[in-house]
Structure formats: structure tokens, C-alpha cells
Amino acid sequence: MTAVLTGIGGFLPPRAVTNDDLSRTLDTSDEWIRTRTGIRERRMVSEGLSTGSLAVEAGARALRSAGVTGVDAVVVATTSPERLCPAVAPEVSSRLGLGTVAAFDVTSACSGFLYGLATAAGLIDSGTADTVLFIGSEAFTTLVNQHDRTTAPIFGDGAGAVVLRRGAPEEPGALGPFDLGSDGALADLLAIPAGGSRQRSADAGLGHASVPAADWYLRMEGRPLYTQAVERMAQSAARVLDRAAWPVTDVDWFVGHQANLRIVRAVAEELQLPGERVAVNIDRVGNTLAASVPLLLNDYAAGGALRPGHRVLLSAFGAGLSWGSTVLVWPDVKAEPVD
Ligand code: COA
């Protein structure tokens, strides 16, 4: 038995921020952002919306798509948790009316959807759960310094979700083999230094040194990350195709993490995948970390480009460093446009 995808949903916060909007407060331009990243606009949470509420909306849509009202477990992948403690998944489960089922978070930045998918599938493979709601949800723009032109244009908020059920490996929607990897020696290329146990906030009399304001926000070394992203995603995708015994010519859609349009295209080129098989929505959403791959799947399924029987290659790369890939034949699932 194996985990089979049986429902999908996505949600974006309503506030759209264009490159021109950003250019009003940042020393940047629509032209620079578009040509270097492929991004035209992104969504950002506003008052009242955060990772949990985005997850609830996307989760509700995925449950509706699967035609179920209950699951055995809820897993949320996020690197912008509501709070350092507790995990957001139990609250999401409760708000969705799913009761007291197993619920926990997975943290793996932009590869969170692949790591979380493998974890959720593992709950099914091990017999712990028959059905799992798995959500990638991020309000990561709250952790990005909106006055830093090197990071602010890149990220966006949103959530994407899937429902997995126990099924047979030969069914459409059955998740194929996974390839997962990491390189912690390069952890500092993309990090938020403060807020955790290593660099705590100044507080009432406990003697912690004051934390510089910039350390509360994301720090990124774009150039080396770019190179790593292309290499690691291409290698991981090639390994998973090999394990699945899929020749690259069989792939109908490459659904890669939307970090940068040039990165996705370069990975496809490495794999010798023609451009028309590369799914893209970064222009409208930016980099939404763990929500990126499911939002892209939802967009293409809802728009009719991704159809039952299509062979799909999923791959992602992110902070950690971390990366992951898997394959599936797209099942006959209902998908609603995000808005
Ligand atoms: N607007 C205008 N100019 C900008 C700018 C902005 N928003 N951000 C940087 N610049 C400037 C730089 O200061 C630099 O100027 P200089 O040549 O005078 O020093 C110039 O543009 C080039 O900067 P560089 O960082 O070398 O650009 P790049 O082509 O590497 O593109 C990224 C930058 C961030 C888009 C690219 O490196 C990238 O996508 N990296 C991967 C990031 C990523 O994927 N992160 C998430 C991991 S999942």
C-alpha cells in the first residue's frame, strides 16, 4: 500500500503587492525584479491573517476537493510559524473541525512541501494513519525586512494543501519514490539569526545581550544560493526519475519550487526538459516556501493544464540547505482556482 493524493486546495491572502508598489519604498524597479526573478507581484498577509488562518483556508479547500470531512492526521509544513511554541498544526486541525487527531509541524523552509509530503506519506506507509491532511503554509513576509531590497521583492505569502489516503502503488495519484537531502555546512546562506535558542531576545533581568534589529529578519546570500539551487534540484530530480524508472521524456510537467524563474528554467535545462513542460506561477505569487509547489499544482489543475494521467515531477530546494523530489501520475481530482 502507498499514499495516494486525493484532494488539493490553495489559498492566497487578498493583498497584492506589485513591483511598482515596492519601488515606492525600496531602491529597486519593476524591470530589475522582473528580469532577475520573474516576479511581477506577490500576496502579503495583512491584519488578521497569519500562517494558521491561511492553512485553515487551504486545508478546507483540499478536504472539499477530496470529498472528506475527517482525516487521521494533520501535518503543516511552515518556516513562518504563528509562534515559536506550540506547532500550528493542532490549532489548524481544531479550527477545521477535525477533532483531536495527530497534528504536528515540519520545518524545512522551501523544501518543506517535499519533506512534509514524505513524512505524511510515511504515516500512511507505516499504518499509523489511513488519511492525512498535509498543508504547506507561510506568512514568511513577516520575517523579511521590507526595507531590504535584496530580500523583500522575492517572498510572498500563501498556503497549499493536499489530502492523502491509503491506496495502491499503481493507482493515479500514488506518490512515487522520494529523494531527500541536506547540507548543513551551508546553513548560513539563508537564515534568520535571532529568535531561537542560540540568539535570544533581551529580557527582564536574565542578562541576555540585546539583539540587533536586523537579526530578527532573513539574511540571504543570493549568488551562492542560486548555484546550489540549480545543482541540487537538478541532481535530486534526476535521482528520483532514475529510482522511478521514468525517462525524462515521460515527464509532462516539471513542478519545481518557485524560487526564481531563472532557477526553474536552468534546472529544466540541466534535465533536458523542454520549456513548455515547466510549470510557472512565480510571476503572480513570488517565493512562497512550503506553499510553493502545492499552489502551483493547484493553479495548473484548476486551470486545466494539468490533467489526469499527466506524469508530474516535483522538486524543491531551500534553506538548510535542504532539497527533495518525488513523482506522481496526476489523479482525477477537483481543483478550485485560488481566487
Ligand atoms: N533592485 C535593484 N538592484 C538590486 C536589487 C533590487 N531589488 N537587489 C540587488 N540589487 C543589485 C545589487 O546590489 C547588485 O548591485 P552591484 O552590481 O552594484 O553590486 C546587483 O543588483 C546584482 O546583485 P546580485 O545579488 O548579484 O543579483 P543576482 O543576479 O544574483 O540576483 C537574486 C539576485 C537574489 C535574485 C538571485 O541571486 C537569486 O535568485 N538567488 C537565489 C535566491 C533564492 O532562491 N532564495 C531562496 C532559496 S529557496
Residue 103 is part of a domain; what is its CATH number? 3.40.47.10
Question: Is 19 designated active site?
Answer: no
Q: Give residue 300 CA to ligand 1 midpoint distance, Å.
A: 28
Asked whether residue 337 is assigned to any structural domain, the reply reads no
CA–CA gap between residue 245 and residue 251 (Å, rounded)? 11
- Whether 18 is in a domain gets the answer yes
Is the CB of residue 37 below 6 angstroms from any atom belonging to ligand 1?
A: yes
Residue 80 lies in a domain: yes
User: Within this chain, do residues 156 and 238 fall inside the same structural domain, yes or no?
Assistant: no
- Residue 275: strand, helix, or coil: helix
Which pLDDT band, with edges at 50, 70 and 90, does 251 fall under? very high
Look-up: residue for cell 522511478?
244
**pLDDT for the residue 102:** 98
The reply to whether 160 and 44 lie within a common domain is yes
Residue 300 corresponds to which cell in the numbers above? 495548473
| Per-residue pLDDT at 18 | 98
pLDDT tens across 221-243, in order? 999 999 999 999 999 999 999 99
Task: Give yes or no: 147 in active site.
Answer: no
Q: Check residue 302 and give left, alpha or beta (phi > 0: left; psi -120 to 50: alpha).
A: alpha
298: annotated active-site residue: no
Q: Tell me if 226 CB under 6 Å of ligand 1.
A: yes
Quote the mean pLDDT of the chain.
96
Let me know whether 241 and 162 are in one domain: no
- β-pair type (190-191, 219-220): antiparallel
Note whether 10 and 156 are same-domain residues: yes
Q: Identify whether 147 is part of a domain.
A: yes
Q: Looking at ligand 1, which atom is closest to the CA of residue 262?
A: 39
Q: How confident is the model at residue 100 (pLDDT cuts 50, 70, 90)?
A: very high
Q: What's the pLDDT score for residue 32?
A: 98
Residues 276 and 149 in one domain: no
Q: How far apart (Å, rounded) are the C-alpha atoms in residues 252 and 273?
A: 9
Residue 310 counted as domain residue? yes
pLDDT of residue 213: 86
Q: Judge whether 97 and 307 are in contact, CB under 8 Å.
A: no
Is the Cβ–Cβ distance between 37 and 261 less than 8 Å?
A: yes
Question: Mind listing the pLDDT tens digit for each residue in 202-226?
Answer: 555 555 567 888 999 999 999 999 9
Q: Are 271 and 254 in contact (CB under 8 A)?
A: yes
Per the structure, the complete domain to which residue 44 belongs is given by 2-167
User: Residues 298-310: pLDDT tens digits?
Assistant: 999 999 999 999 9
Same domain, 38 and 124: yes
The verdict on residue 213 lying in a domain is no
pLDDT tens digits, residue range 288-337?
999 999 999 999 999 999 999 999 999 999 999 999 999 999 999 999 99
The answer to whether position 198 is within a domain reads: no
Q: Report the domain count for the chain.
A: 2
CA trace torsion 246, 113, 160, 238 (10° rounding)? -20
Asked whether residue 199 is domain-assigned, the answer is no
* 38 and 158, same domain (yes or no): yes
Q: Is 320 left (phi over 0), alpha (psi -120 to 50) or beta?
A: left
Residues 243 and 145 both lie in one domain: no
Question: Do 241 and 303 reside in the same domain of the chain?
Answer: yes
Please list, in sequence order, all residues whose beta carbon lies within 8 angstroms of the beta carbon of residue 63, skipping any fewer than 6 positions away.
7, 9, 69, 71, 96, 133, 163
Q: Which range, of 52-56, 193-197, 290-294, averages the lowest pLDDT? A: 193-197
For residue 27, is pLDDT > 80? Answer: yes
Same domain, 131 and 256: no
Ligand 1 centre to CA of 294 (Å) is 26
